[in-house]
Amino acid sequence: MIDANRTDLSTDQRCIAALRTLSMDAVQQARSGHPGAPMGMAPVAYCLWQDVLRYDPADPAWPDRDRFVLSAGHASALLYSLLHLAGVRAVDDRGKPLDRPAVSLDDLKRFRQLGSVTPGHPEFRLTAGVETTTGPLGQGLGVSVGMAMASRWLAAHFNRPGFELFSHGVYALCGDGCMMEGLSSEAASLAGHLKLSNLCWIYDSNRITIEGSTDLAFSESVPERFSGLGWRVFRTSDANDLEQVRAALRSAATAADKPTLIVAESRIGFGAPNKQGTASAHGEPLGEEEVRLAKRAYGWPEDSRFLVPEEVTARFSQGIGRRGRGLSEAWARRLQGYAAAHPDLAERLGVLLARGLPPGWDRDIPVFPADAKGVASREASGKVLNAVAKNVPWLVGGSADLAPSTKTLIAGGGDFQAGSPSGRNLRFGIREHAMAAALNGLSHSGLRPYGSTFLNFLDYCRPSVRLAALMELPTVYVFTHDSISVGEDGPTHQPVEQLAGMRATPGLLVLRPADANETAEAWRVIMPLRRRPAVLVLSRQALPTVDRTRYAPASGLAKGAYVLAEAEGGKPEVLILATGSEVAPSLAAHELLRKEGVRSRVVSMPSWELFEEQDDAYKKAVLPPEVTARVSVEAGSPMGWDRYVGPSGRCIAMRSFGASAPAKEVEAKFGFTAEGIAAAARSAARGKSA
């Protein structure tokens, strides 16, 4: 027994006390973290994991496991304590279990320390059992919607009579902060519309945030909001009442036509008062004295630290451990039978889960003939997307109500709706924030999702784009209307600063193709990616299709930058570096300079990231160090271009917002014309100041 003085505690209560005290000890030892939510939500988390979750701790990457998402990522100590007590195993890069725990007791003792697998907020890939990176409030909720969509899509495509391979549910634990963030409303609205009955959010309603009581800023009725969004709502008046909690969770697990919200009323600290007599600290350690008082209230030895009684681990092993092992082993046997009965589908599923591509996936990608009039890169992308979609059945995606404009519909792909979950066209509505988060959830499940909107609305997607880069997810973003050339729409729709922001994001691959064939090559680069998100930046206006018999082939895009037009004799006096829609006027400037006897080289530079990954010899061949006369041309911020043009170079760029006028007039006003580029190059070649 744990405490001779407390024989009245059930084994369930001891398990809950172990979750609470491990979390408290981890936060206290780190002198950093959030003990309140783990203490308040330990009973709910215990019931979910021990009694409901279809999850095998010995095989935590089992494809049909239920997903548990800690949207309230500040409560990470609770998740790490769960992973430890449940005996979740670590996995390798392919998801295969290893012979060691995902979170050891020593790992808990190193909470929030450098190099630990127990960082301040949960990180996907770093810690087995962490299904997605959370911390920015509401992100986990958006991701959970994508996971639930993926479960439905996988079931529709792969389940066959007698072989139910996919039926997993998704559970997300959130708090008042998640509910206040706008993302939660967008995501909940989408989930309600899609009737994602395999989705359950558990709302820790403890009425306190960093600043104090939620009465300061939050007085809405969350249950009424969710009822109006098409959710079933259950309320538990006390998160410590295990029977109430279990009844709500059982109801969620059997839901048939709506997602479920469980409102769990809790009090931070479970009655452990601080010196002022109020609830325990939300965002800071309790302090040694309060830790002792809390342990006393829980019937736990006051001076113990990181205590894990054998009966607690045995309880988890007999519960989720035994149940999960049986479920995952039954699934593995079912998969074997499935492979015998449906070998083609089984092979396809194996490739999908390995993030591979079918043989010949790119065989139908078109080659575009030279055309001075050309085609918008968004139009070219739509054609390439559909060519790829024919051969990659798990390429799915949509837009924030802009598919006719972003050209991202898959012809004949059907719509993903409540009654047609096999559809490949995802209708996100005007919900960029939820779209971007849901894409990450879809990507977590092995699908190849893409989402699209105008580049100027990247700001509505940026938190999720950033997290995709942090998690190394191969999510694809298609952003169109990429420059001041949207013209009359004016500066509100002209994204002059967005390229710089994306290039500043570690791990994010940004591609801004110059014409239709570079766009095709961009998709060739994007699709094989397994651990990197990509952004495809496309034009609304037509771009001339470069004559590749006269200039270099578009395959140079794969190296990020390449010599598109060479100077006479291969010895340039000036380098003109351009991306996207500014390549065509740069080529025209090159021809003007050639007639004047000025030797210019035009470098198409669709991806800084890919170029930086090339060896020094290649980079010096494209940008010879001895040629210091350089001009960059891009209808965006000049930030960052100095690394390529050097101290004596010129940047034709946007140093202000744009203007509302016909595109040609706007381009001329800001110097994006052949004549303007030629003048800057001529000046640079002669060593004159700009």
What's the CATH fold of domain 11-328? Rossmann fold (3.40.50)
Arithmetic mean of pLDDT, 180-188? 97
Tell me: pLDDT of 6 over 70: no
Q: pLDDT tens digits for 115-160?
A: 999 999 999 999 999 999 999 999 999 999 999 999 999 999 999 9
Tell me: pLDDT of 504 over 70: yes
Residue 305's pLDDT band (cuts 50, 70, 90):
very high
Arithmetic mean of pLDDT, 394-410? 97
For every residue of 627-652, DSSP letters joined together read ---EEEE-SS--TTTHHHH-TT-EEE
pTM of the model: 0.95
Q: Give the SS3 label for residue 476.
A: strand
Q: What pLDDT score was predicted for residue 8?
A: 53
Arithmetic mean of pLDDT, 557-568? 97
Arithmetic mean of pLDDT, 648-652? 94
Arithmetic mean of pLDDT, 398-424? 97
Structural tokens at position 150: 């993926």
Residue whose pair of structure tokens reads 């009323």 in the numeric block: 265
Strands of 446-583, DSSP E: 448-454, 476-480, 509-511, 534-537, 542-545, 562-565, 574-578
**DSSP-assigned beta bridge partners for residue 536:** 478, 511
Chain centroid to Cα 300, Å, comes to: 40
Q: What pLDDT score was predicted for residue 688?
A: 54
Residue 104's pLDDT band (cuts 50, 70, 90):
very high
Instruction: Catalytic residue, from 123, 131, 186, 432: name it.
Output: 432
Least confident of 205-219, 249-263, 352-366: 205-219
Domain 553-685 has CATH 3.20.20.105: no
Residue 594's pLDDT band (cuts 50, 70, 90):
very high
Question: Residue 377: in which H helix or E strand, if any?
Answer: helix 377-389
SS (H, E, C) 101-134: ECCCHHHHHCCCCCCCCCCCCCCCCCCCCCCCCC
Q: For the domain with range 371-544, which CATH number is right: 2.60.40.10, 3.30.930.10, 3.30.70.270, 3.40.50.970?
A: 3.40.50.970
Tell me: pLDDT of 268 over 90: no
Average pLDDT, the chain: 94
Tell me: pLDDT of 77 over 70: yes
Q: What pLDDT score was predicted for residue 61?
A: 97
Q: What pLDDT score was predicted for residue 272?
A: 37
Is residue 432 part of the annotated active site? The answer reads yes
Sign, Cα dihedral of 420, 421, 424, 430: positive
Q: Give the SS3 label for residue 100.
A: strand
Tell me: pLDDT of 459 over 80: yes
Tell me: pLDDT of 5 over 80: no
Sequence ranges of the chain with CATH classification 3.40.50.970? 11-328, 371-544
Strand order across the 67-70 sheet: 67-70, 170-175, 199-205, 260-265, 232-236
- What span, in angstroms and rounded, lies between the C-alpha atoms of 684 and 573? 9
Residue whose pair of structure tokens reads 């006003």 in the numeric block: 669
Structural tokens at position 459: 């700001």
Q: Which of 90, 95, 76 is nearest to 32 (CA)?
A: 76
Arithmetic mean of pLDDT, 186-212? 94
Between 36 and 687, the higher pLDDT residue: 36
